[in-house]
Structure 1
């Protein structure tokens, strides 16, 4: 499922899809000295030697509504050494992806989150072993209860992987929970959904029903169970650490923009 969400961004020239191929591309040399944040009429922009940063593909000007996002962008630009490595710039990649997607992608991003929520990680339970069942209940039941109470909805969890349709009213209210959200915030929620495999966790975070750490723990119940059984794999843990950076970046955008 995570691959499906990444695919939604591959049309942009500097989204997550491109980031996966950075090791195949010669990195450009740093061409600027000074990095600043400028206040504009419609938000904040990062400047490099006084010139406003634009997206690498369509050369669209980047203006963000929150100072904290602009400061995070500026910090990533300032941290570059002799070469510019987008792999070390998660906020830049996320915002570039959003801007190059364009507002026309808002309905698609909202629908994608809803699609995950209707066939969500939290709704499909293991029937063994007992330890995994208990961990899923501990992390997932609380999230479902919080969502059910907040939105006055009901879920129908199931055992196994056979599709279990959710009530139409539940899906409708979950879709309404994303109503009015803009491109940047929805892009961040799509990222959280892709990383966690759960639209419900993304919606729960947006509405203050779970902390970021609780979302992360819930998303990794199965993986953590495997680690307890077989121990840590170095490559897998490195991938997980990189996902956490992307996750924290998306969380920062949601925190900056949610009402």
Structure 2
């Protein structure tokens, strides 16, 4: 299941899984012309359909693109409306995530749930630097509130370790994460949580963001404490900066989709 999710989330049906390489390839290859005048949302008995000139869209797996709320469908329709003379799939992260939910996650939500639980068993927030003091303090400032939230809200208490040596987490903590996820067992929500988890390297950051315990900017900053520390001391190249910007765009799309699932249809 993780391989399928990675393929779908990273753009298996696009030109390349790496966002920078994908952008470079798209620049070299001619993009399809925009063939429709308007992207709209239509409410049907099965869900909210995204339509191009009145014709429903299908996923790469040939399923009809149906979303659970009008707000969610509007996000996808907005991406189609934002296309100019050509259609650039790179600029449509919500569509890609919706395809993931329908073609991949809906058929085996348990596997996705377990994958997020596996991330939590070796969550990035539990592995701390032992020096320098400034980095230790920065990690604590960004990560401790998320761990405190997990303890207070999920009932999950995680152990911390210095360095990269694996630390066994309590079974009760992982079970608490699983229980929390079961309350969110819906394809589009789980797809968003899974993508946020893989983009940040932390299931706990993803869960806290989805629960609105932290805002997206705080979450993104927390996920990049170590990377930002390295950049401050060694600099950043242009390609790495572009890759991070594209990941942030996908992260924001996941947040938007997760929140739209809660919106009134």
Q: With the length of structure 1 as denominator, give the TM-score of the two structures.
A: 0.90
Q: Which deviates more, 72-81 or 44-53?
A: 72-81
Query: Which deviations, in whole Å up to 9, do the C-alpha atoms of 1:121-142 show, x marking residues without a partner?
Result: 0001111222111110111111
Does the 8 A contact of 1:44 with 1:66 survive in 2?
yes
Q: Which deviates more, 231-240 or 16-25?
A: 16-25
Q: Which runs of 5+ in 2 are unaligned?
A: 17-21
How far did 1:15 drift? 5.4
Instruction: Tell me what 2:259 maps to.
Output: 255
Instruction: Tell me what 2:82 maps to.
Output: 79
Does the 8 A contact of 2:4 with 2:104 survive in 1?
no
Instruction: Tell me what 1:213 maps to.
Output: 217
Instruction: Tell me what 1:183 maps to.
Output: 187
Instruction: Tell me what 2:73 maps to.
Output: 70
Query: Which deviations, in whole Å up to 9, do the C-alpha atoms of 1:149-172 show, x marking residues without a partner?
Result: 112232111011111010011111
Separation of aligned partners in 2, 1:10 and 1:203: 19
Separation of aligned partners in 2, 1:215 and 1:204: 8
Matched, 1:61 2:76: no
Separation of aligned partners in 1, 2:149 and 2:40: 42
Alignment RMSD (CA, Å): 2.0
Q: For residue 172 of structure 2, give the secondary structure of its aligned residue in structure 1.
A: helix
How far did 1:34 drift? 2.2
Does the 8 A contact of 1:205 with 1:215 survive in 2?
yes
Q: How does 1:121-136 map to 2 (within 5 A)?
A: 121-136=124-139
Q: Which deviates more, 113-122 or 14-23?
A: 14-23
Using a 3 Å threshold, how does the CA distance of structure 1 residues 45 and 58 change in structure 2: closer, same or farther? same
Separation of aligned partners in 2, 1:102 and 1:252: 18
Q: Which deviates more, 203-212 or 66-75?
A: 203-212
Using a 3 Å threshold, how does the CA distance of structure 1 residues 258 and 158 change in structure 2: closer, same or farther? farther
Matched, 1:8 2:4: yes
How far did 1:219 drift? 0.2
Q: For residue 209 of structure 1, give the secondary structure of its aligned residue in structure 2.
A: coil
How far did 1:258 drift? 4.4
Matched, 1:148 2:151: yes
Q: Which deviates more, 232-241 or 180-189?
A: 232-241
Separation of aligned partners in 2, 1:37 and 1:249: 18
How far did 1:102 drift? 4.6
Q: For residue 37 of structure 2, give the secondary structure of its aligned residue in structure 1.
A: coil
Using a 3 Å threshold, how does the CA distance of structure 1 residues 210 and 20 change in structure 2: closer, same or farther? farther
Using a 3 Å threshold, how does the CA distance of structure 1 residues 19 and 257 change in structure 2: closer, same or farther? same
Residue 241 of structure 1, aligned match among 238, 241, 245: 245
Aligned length: 253
Separation of aligned partners in 1, 2:76 and 2:240: 28
